[in-house]
């Protein structure tokens, strides 16, 4: 276990150095969510009724999820680049833990996405986002976002290992970015048509968004908290099993 942790830390430092040498990656990851935040607040916000809360407070949780969905596409791309350039093959010949290669990309993704989330949150504060949530509520928000990032990162490793081209590895994140639009992230689900409303209320994004929104608004989380945690854990478990199996199969060849 100590060897695995050491190898993971060493490889994570390598990946983080690549990110630090290209800080525009984090800025690029944050540009799309920030643009959406500004667009919806200043263009559509006045026409959307969300009750007593300001629209930026209502909107921010969904934008945070889109930030992660945008960021994990770079995780898939970094793994694809390592695999296609032969770096992963070179690692196989070295006396290091085999799973450390995947875990290093996972840890790098979590760190990079948390930085992007801070950038988006800072912009939200500049345009009027306010929350009276206490330390425990903010820690809970951090926990939910970290778990969500972990689940999507392991999901991103699958195309990173299996894609045949750059377009293939980068395109998989588009459905993930689009999914919050059919949820409670931008508008309340009550005004949606029947079938669309049913889908919006039973897909993973809605309970995660509702949980974050309740925590930031100092309101009871209710069953949304359990549903959000459950969805993240299920996605994480399935993606982890699939990604590690694909990786083990590639190592066998």
pLDDT for 23 equals: 63
Residue 171's CB: how many other CB atoms inside 10 A?
A: 14
pLDDT for 91 equals: 65
pTM tops 0.85, yes or no: yes
> For the chain, which residues score pLDDT lower than 70?
1-4, 6, 20, 22-27, 87-96, 251-253
Q: What is the pLDDT of residues 37-85, one digit of tens each?
A: 999 898 877 777 777 778 899 999 999 999 999 888 888 888 888 777 7
pLDDT for 93 equals: 64
pLDDT for 32 equals: 84
pLDDT for 230 equals: 96
pLDDT for 67 equals: 92
């Amino acid at each position: 276990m100590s060897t695995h942790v050491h190898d993971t830390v060493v490889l994570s430092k390598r990946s983080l150095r690549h990110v630090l040498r290209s800080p525009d990656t984090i800025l690029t990851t944050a540009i799309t969510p920030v643009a959406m935040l500004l667009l919806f607040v200043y263009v559509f916000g006045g026409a959307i009724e969300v009750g007593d809360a300001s629209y930026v407070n209502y909107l921010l949780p969904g934008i945070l999820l889109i930030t992660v969905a945008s960021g994990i596409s770079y995780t898939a791309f970094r793994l694809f680049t390592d695999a296609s350039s032969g770096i992963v093959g070179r690692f196989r010949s070295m006396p290091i833990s085999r799973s450390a290669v995947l875990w290093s990309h996972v840890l790098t993704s979590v760190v990079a996405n948390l930085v992007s989330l801070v950038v988006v949150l800072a912009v939200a504060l500049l345009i009027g986002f306010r929350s009276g949530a206490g330390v425990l509520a903010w820690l809970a928000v951090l926990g939910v976002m970290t778990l969500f990032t972990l689940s999507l990162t392991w999901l991103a490793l699958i195309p990173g290992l299996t894609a045949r081209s750059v377009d293939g590895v980068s395109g998989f994140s588009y459905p993930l970015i689009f999914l919050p639009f059919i949820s409670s992230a931008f508008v309340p689900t009550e005004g949606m048509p029947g079938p669309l409303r049913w889908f919006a209320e039973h897909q993973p994004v809605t309970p995660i968004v509702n949980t974050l929104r309740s925590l930031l608004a100092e309101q009871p989380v209710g069953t949304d908290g359990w549903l959000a945690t459950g969805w993240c854990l299920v996605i994480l478990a399935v993606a982890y099993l699939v990604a590690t199996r694909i990786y083990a199969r590639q190592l066998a060849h």
